[in-house]
Structures are given as structure tokens and as C-alpha cells.
A and B are shown apart, each in its own frame.
Chain A
């Protein structure tokens, strides 16, 4: 009950903010919410299930492209396009996961990197279906029951996406499944001795988080109203990884902090030091990995423990 009230309050506050912003701020705000959504999902995959996969952002792209193609090339109505888009993401996730989860650590990373690269190639070479290097543009969200959802109201849709994703991951994390994922990450052999099927656990964790990224991508498709290959490149896949690591991997609160910090950092730094902000970025990254492997949330935990001890 308490957590439900918390969710409702967060939904109200985050939605209210949407109605106070100008158009530039709205764009920044929407993308921030989307980054947080992605970071939460990736935190489950990387931080909790322990899978070093670089395909999370790719599924964001697959969701976005699937949405646009299904709606405007195939001509499906919106509800059907949403369902079909999720199916596409889950099927592709299984295609990657079933062979890739046999692999561990380094090799899973390589396989998913290759998949991410392959996706960009397919986008560029996809002809009229994907729009090639220029991507797809000049479309807009179909009316929902005769209503055109735009402006702050579409931002509210993104707030729902964020909270929905958070709720799904929250439930999973606090269940036998979340414990199984952590157990497989901590010690696969012991996990197996507890009756946990390692492969199934890995595949399900990968498919569920990939599908969540795909849904986020579907929502994103109508944020910029254009999808093109550079948006879904590896740079953003790595940014996502950095967000989770800097925030504190394995902790949803860490993913949120990391996403907010790393997404907003350039906005504050580039007016001051121009393009050198990438340098600050790198330094922050190295510093965190060296001195604070538990991420920024680890610093907070340290404070709390000390306060309780005092």
C-alpha cells in the first residue's frame, strides 16, 4: 500500500512538472525520463542479473523502428502495432539470448556488441523499409480514440512508461526471480545447487529487460518524430553502461542517480568548457571505478550506515 501511494505521488509530481516546461525544456525532460527508464532496465540486466550485454540500447532502437514501420509501412492500427512491436522485441531477444546466454562475461559482451553493430548495418542497408541512413521521418502519433496526444500530455505518457517499468522491475527484483538472478550472478554453481536453472534465468532476464527497452523505444518514436541510425549507435549503449556504473550497479536508485547525472552533466558543463565536457566525463568514470566501485549510491549507503552507527 505504501509503495502504491509512493508510485501515485511520483506520477503526479513528475506529470505536474511536464505542464510547467517550455518546448526546449520539455524535450530535455522527456529524454531524461527515457534515459532513466532505460537505465533502470539495464541495471536489472547488468547490475542484478550480471549480464555484460551491450544490446539494451539496440532494443530501444528496435522498438522505435518497429513502431514506425508497423504503423506507417505495414499500416497496423496503434494497439495492434504496440502488441506486434513487443512480440518483435521478445522474439529478437530470444534469438540473441538463446545462443548468447551459453556464453559468459566477455563472450556475451562480444556477441551483443556484434548484434548492436549488425542492427546499425541493417538500418543503413534497409532501403525504403528503414529509410536507410536518413531513417524515417514525417510521421506523427495516430489519434487515440479521436484525441491527439501531444505536448505535456505525451510527456505524461512517458511518465507512465517510467513508472510502469520501475514497477515491473521492482516486483521482479523482490521475488523469487530477482533472487534467482542475483544468485546466478553471485555464484552460478551454488545457484544451480539451489534448484535454479541458470540458462532459463539468464534468458528470461535478458528477454524481459530487452522487451522493456523495446517498449521505451516505441514511446520514444514519437518524441523526436524521426528515427535514424546514428541515434541508436554504440556511443549511447556505452553511456547507458556508464550511467549504471556511476550510479551504483545493482541498485535502482543508483541507476536513477546515474542517469540524471550523466544525462544532465553536458548541459551544465558545455557552456563552461565546451566540448571538453567529454574529458570530465572520462575522468568521473575512471574515478568512480577506481575509488567508488559501488557507485554514487554507495557513498550514500556509507553515510546512512555511519549515521545509524553514531
Chain B
């Protein structure tokens, strides 16, 4: 028998602090496998956010910088402009990217910064205990929307992939999900493509990954997967929103 699946060497031996069933673990693995398969480990510098993934610098086996909240795209810009031959990725949640960091992500995309952004959308603020996020769905109960998100009061969720795809500087934007094996496979393909684009010197890529937060959604990991399928997939459709290179004939 041969090994057909094992842990990537681009993940460290450190066991993650993520909650049982949190899909951060799956997404970390897909990134690590992509970096390993494309042989980029020695050139890669990752930027960790503020959020549950703040300790990502302990989990990815490459040079890492930890950035202030929302500013990872700016930090990544600094690294990539200083070291144009490096592979730079950011890993950000919905508070980091879609709330405090909206200016930084918009402008990194507009400038066409040659970085790869992995945006983890779980419709809630995990690390701080389950507050409303810009991606929280209408009617969704969180600790700061205890009666359910009231769109009359605090508006509608932000659709990042759609929004950023309007920017000419953005090269590749795809929304994926990790709710089942088929989608995990597709997510890996998208993430690997995003890293391949950077390795090829193409511009800004962002992969939005629909993810679960069992702890703050108040459900079991398996129920959380179902919640994602029933509620998030209809609101945040999966698909390629931009692929400049793919559109070239």
C-alpha cells in the first residue's frame, strides 16, 4: 500500500487551537498543500490576521508576519514590494477583511498587488466571542444582534467577491466552500490556482471561502455544515467572479 493522503510539510507539528470542526483547519491544509505542490515553500511569506487565525504564524511552516487588524493586505504589499520574487499570502477573516480592513483590501486589489488573499467568511466574529460581522446574514442572531440582524437598522451583508470583482486591478476572484468533499476539492483547485497565478507573476488573487463557526453559531460541527448549506450558499453563490488570465484568448 502507498500513502495517498498525509499531512503537508508546509504545516508545522503544532496542533491548532481551533475549535472542533472549525473549517480553518481544512483551509490551512489546502493552502499548505498548494504551496507544497507548487514548490513555493522556501519563497513564501504569509501574513496572519487578527482573529481566530491570529496564531496562523504557528501553523504554517514558512516565514510569517503577524499584522494589525485589517492591515494584512498593506503588510503584504510592503513585503512583496520589498521582495518581488517572494510569494506572499494573507489569511483573513470577516472582521479583518470585510470590516476594519475594507480600505486595505480594496486598494491592494485596485493596485493589482501580486499577492494571494484567502478570505475566510463564516458570517460572524469568532475570536471575540460571536459578534455580528459585515457578512452576518439578515435575521442571524449574534451577540451584538441578539434579536437577529435587522437590515432596517444596520443594513445588509457585504458581498466581497462581487464587490472586488468590479476592480480592474483584480486578477482572479473566486468564491468557494468547504462544506463537503466535492467543494473542498474545488476549493483546493481555486486556492492552488491563486498561488500559481502569483508564481507566474500575475496580479491580485482572492479566494473567498465559506466556512463554519460551530461554537459561535451555537451548533455542532455537523449541524454547522448544514447551516452553511442552507443559509450561506444561497446568499453567497459559489463561482468565479473574475479571472482575467482565464478570459484571455
Same assembly: no
List the interface of chain B (C-beta within 8 A of A): none
List the interface of chain A (C-beta within 8 A of B): none
